[in-house]
Amino acid sequence: MTLSTILVVVLIIVLIGALPLWPYSRGYGYYPGGILGTILLVVIILMLMGKI
């Protein structure tokens, strides 16, 4: 596995963990998931373009 594949897998796991599913995290809103989703999208685009 390449480093970029490992990076994408880790970002997906962190994105799932950032979703506000627990009662104490409902006040956070979707901001943590949105930020991580944006980072994941940028990394995937860079991978497809061959920059990573």
Per the structure block, which two tokens stand in for 31? 């901001």
Q: What is the mean pLDDT of the chain?
A: 75
CA 14 to chain centre: 6
Q: Got the DSSP string for 15-50?
A: HHHHS--SGGGGGGTTHHHHHHHHHHHHHHHHHHHT
Per the structure block, which two tokens stand in for 5? 């594949």
Q: Give domain limits for the chain.
A: 3-49
Is the pTM here over 0.95, yes or no? no
31 contacts 9 by C-beta, under 8 angstroms: no
Give the model confidence (pLDDT) of 25-35 as tens digits. 666 666 766 77
